[in-house]
């Protein structure tokens, strides 16, 4: 909050996003609510409470990850979902960032945890 009040909006948002995500992972509902309120006050519009991990994935990212984990290529996934290969690549890239992965390796194990 102090960074936001001092006018350091960008830095405040980075810290608040990390707090919001961490509180969500820990189940600290009150802290998550406070971080969310501060994020909104800073002008941010977080779409999900979880910003990392499986729960942070959008429905499309999750679907693409599941198909990738099943062994399909990006082209095959695109054909199955009626989207472009570029869209599949974008969804996978965003999902890898959220999941802390560098590639498809680990997707199967990670998805099986839920």
pLDDT at 6 over 80: no
Where do the domains of the chain lie? Answer: 2-41, 54-112
Predicted pLDDT at 60 = 93
The first and second tokens of residue 70, run together, are 């099943």
CATH level 3 topology of 54-112: Arc Repressor Mutant, subunit A (1.10.10)
The whole-number pLDDT of residue 14 equals 79
Element (H, E) at 28: none
Percentage of the chain surpassing pLDDT 70? Answer: 82
Comparing CA positions, the residue from 103, 102, 99, 98 lying closest to residue 113 is 99
- Whether the model pTM is above 0.75: no
Hey, how many other C-beta atoms are within 10 angstroms of the C-beta on 13? 19
């Amino acid at each position: 909050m102090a960074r936001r009040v001092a006018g350091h909006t960008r830095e405040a948002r980075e810290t608040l996003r990390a707090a919001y995500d961490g509180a969500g992972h820990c189940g600290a509902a009150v802290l998550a609510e406070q971080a969310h309120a501060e994020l909104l006050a800073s002008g941010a519009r977080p779409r999900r409470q979880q910003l990392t991990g499986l729960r942070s994935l959008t429905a499309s990212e999750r679907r693409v990850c599941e198909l990738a984990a099943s062994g399909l290529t990006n082209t095959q996934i695109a054909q199955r979902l009626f989207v472009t290969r570029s869209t599949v690549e974008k969804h996978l890239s965003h999902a890898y960032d959220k999941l802390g992965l560098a590639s498809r390796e680990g997707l199967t194990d990670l998805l099986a945890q839920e």
